[in-house]
Amino acid sequence: MRFILVGPPGAGKGTQAVHLATHFGIPHISTGDIFRLNLKNGTPLGLQAKGFMDKGELVPDSVTNEMVADRLTHPDVQAGFLLDGYPRTTAQAEFLKSALTAMNSPLDAVLEMTIDNSEIVKRLSGRRTCRGCGKIYPAAQPSCDSCGGELYQRDDDKEEVIQRRLEVYADQTAPIVGFYRNEGLLRTISALGSVDEVAGRAISALSK
């Protein structure tokens, strides 16, 4: 099974990615992990990315695309993969399509998780993060029950920042939904409900 997970921030993609990767026995590949691996290993692509990041600039598509394409040649993806956080634009989606066609490994599906913006704001603005271990809790939690650390609200969990993140998603990433709908690959599920309920919907949609 080779598929992409898309949806707005706060839809629960990270949580579902873990469940789905385990269920299908495939690696969960996130762009964040790919960047960290290349930077840690000092690969030529990692060094290119670091040059842009050190100057406070966005890493261009050309570098990001090649990092992803390289990751998809690793032996662990032979049985499939779950891509999370890529592609973010239709240009990246076009590149990925060409790269996978060249590898004779086309996508099986694109799973879109949908949820109202009001629910996203409620979810994200109502969570707190432990300064010690990074564990996430609801706002009512007094302190971290794992390490006793102080809980705080991250800047990107503040309502005005969340609204901006949703605008960026709508402008840049949401258009890929139309791209994959035209490709006949899109599967859409509601992200409302318990983790198990959403996972069940996802597995059912991907198994069609």
Which candidate in 36, 154, 164, 181 is catalytic? 154
Which candidate in 2, 13, 123, 187 is catalytic? 13
Q: Is 154 a catalytic residue?
A: yes
Q: Is 2 a catalytic residue?
A: no
- C-alpha closest to that of 185 among 78, 57, 97: 97
Which candidate in 97, 122, 135, 165 is catalytic? 165
Cβ–Cβ < 8 Å for 4, 107: yes
Q: Is 165 a catalytic residue?
A: yes
Alpha carbon distance 105, 46 (integer Å): 25
Alpha carbon distance 93, 113 (integer Å): 18
Q: Is 158 a catalytic residue?
A: no
Which candidate in 88, 123, 128, 201 is catalytic? 88
Q: How far is CA 2 from CA 12, 20, 26, 160, in A?
A: 20, 11, 8, 35
Which candidate in 50, 97, 127, 135 is catalytic? 127
Sheet holding 151-152, edge to edge: 136-138, 127-130, 151-152
Name the residues annotated as catalytic: 13, 88, 127, 154, 165
